């Protein structure tokens, strides 16, 4: 028998807990045929609704269901990490509880693992049902990100992945505090098969990601997997130095030849504003990296467990 660990991060998802369980075990015959034992680890990310109670109810009915609950909301990345640490399976799969990651894909994914792939990942090819502004910014983010980072980050990639123990251990070895999962998957490498599917809209409840949250998350991704913005700051500085030097030469020459005093302080004000703006912008970039470094250096735990059943 092989053990498959299913990791399900949940944050205020009371109405989805049971639906997910039912949908997952609709594949029961597949699990039996392939002699796969299943453990489901619901990671409750500090929910304020009845999520924990729902999972406990399921646990009483079926001992394959486990619960990890956090002391507060730590974010999906932390929930995934906790689930991976808890998992004992020879294979591990991560899925959203809202059924946007269809469990019906599991047999196909498992096929590829049997064929020798180390991990099978999924990406959605459409962004149907998403606000157009969000899609636009998401596309732009992936474009910029892949330009400035050596780690490949696939557009539309979901966190729905089936991995072998080897890959899981590699991910667990990355103990960083700022966990940008999409980047971490890309960074560890291994042979990955990509499956594509149409975006499925969430069945019940609401998305936990506001535009602002996604924006902050994207900045985190950039600082975690690229240092190009720091180089941009340096290059901008150098460019402005060269420009200033040239202008100084021109002005001195002009004064010596024509003897006219340099006039016009409005232009000077504009230049000062522009240059100090750029300086502040670059300082901000440095600040971003500094703050991330600060958080890493503190070595705070990534999550805190309240209950482990």
**Site residues (CB under 6 A) for ligand UDP?**
9-11, 13, 45, 73, 75-76, 79, 96-98, 100, 202, 207-209
Q: Which is nearer to ligand UDP, 118 or 159 (CB)?
A: 159
11 interacts with, out of ligand UDP, Mg ion, none, CB within 5 to 8 A per kind: ligand UDP
Question: What distance in Å separates the CA atoms of residue 14 and residue 57, rounded to the nearest whole number?
Answer: 11
Of 94, 75, 7, whose CA–CA distance to 214 is shortest?
75
Q: Which is nearer to ligand UDP, 48 or 150 (CB)?
A: 48
CB of 16 to ligand UDP, least distance (A): 8
Q: Which is nearer to Mg ion, 165 or 202 (CB)?
A: 202
Question: What distance in Å separates the CA atoms of residue 278 and residue 115, rounded to the nearest whole number?
Answer: 53
183 interacts with, out of ligand UDP, Mg ion, none, CB within 5 to 8 A per kind: none
Q: Does 101 bind Mg ion (CB under 5 A)?
A: no
100, 135, 146, 178: residue in contact with Mg ion (rule CB under 5 A): 100
Question: What distance in Å separates the CA atoms of residue 125 and residue 79, rounded to the nearest whole number?
Answer: 26
CB of 158 to ligand UDP, least distance (A): 8
45 interacts with, out of ligand UDP, Mg ion, none, CB within 5 to 8 A per kind: ligand UDP
CB of 98 to Mg ion, least distance (A): 4
CB of 265 to Mg ion, least distance (A): 56
Give the x-and-dash track for 184-203 against Mg ion (CB under 5 A): ------------------x-
13, 98, 118, 159: residue in contact with Mg ion (rule CB under 5 A): 98
| Beta strands 157-164 and 91-94, pairing class | antiparallel
Residues lying near Mg ion in the complex (CB under 5 A) are found at 96, 98, 100, 202
């Amino acid at each position: 028998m092989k053990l498959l660990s299913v990791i399900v991060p949940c944050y205020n998802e009371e109405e989805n807990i049971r639906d997910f369980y039912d949908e997952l075990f609709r594949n029961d015959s597949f699990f039996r045929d392939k002699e796969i034992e299943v453990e489901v680890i619901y990671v409750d990310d500090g929910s304020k609704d009845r999520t924990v109670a729902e999972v406990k109810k399921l646990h009483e009915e079926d001992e394959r269901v486990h619960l990890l609950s956090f002391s507060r909301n730590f974010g999906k990345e932390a929930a995934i990490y906790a689930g991976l640490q808890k998992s004992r399976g020879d294979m591990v799969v991560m899925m959203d509880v809202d059924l946007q990651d269809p469990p019906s894909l599991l047999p196909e994914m498992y096929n590829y693992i049997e064929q020798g792939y180390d991990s099978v990942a999924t990406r959605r090819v459409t962004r149907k049902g998403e606000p157009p502004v969000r899609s636009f910014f998401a596309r732009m983010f992936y474009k910029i990100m892949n330009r400035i980072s050596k780690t490949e980050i696939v557009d539309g990639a979901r966190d729905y992945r089936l991995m072998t123990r080897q890959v899981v251990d590699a991910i667990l070895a990355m103990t960083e505090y700022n966990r940008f999962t999409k980047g971490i998957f890309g960074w560890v490498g291994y042979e990955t098969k990509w499956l594509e599917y149409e975006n499925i809209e969430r069945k019940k409840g609401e998305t936990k990601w506001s535009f602002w949250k996604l924006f902050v998350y994207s900045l985190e991704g950039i600082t975690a997997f690229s240092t190009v913005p720091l180089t941009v700051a340096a290059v901008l500085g150098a460019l402005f130095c060269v420009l200033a030097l040239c202008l100084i030469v021109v002005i001195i020459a002009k004064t010596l030849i024509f003897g006219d005093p340099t006039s016009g302080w409005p232009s000077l004000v504009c230049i000062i504003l522009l240059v100090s703006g750029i300086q502040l912008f670059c300082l901000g970039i440095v600040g971003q990296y500094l703050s991330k470094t600060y958080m890493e250096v503190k070595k705070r735990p990534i999550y805190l467990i309240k209950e482990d059943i």
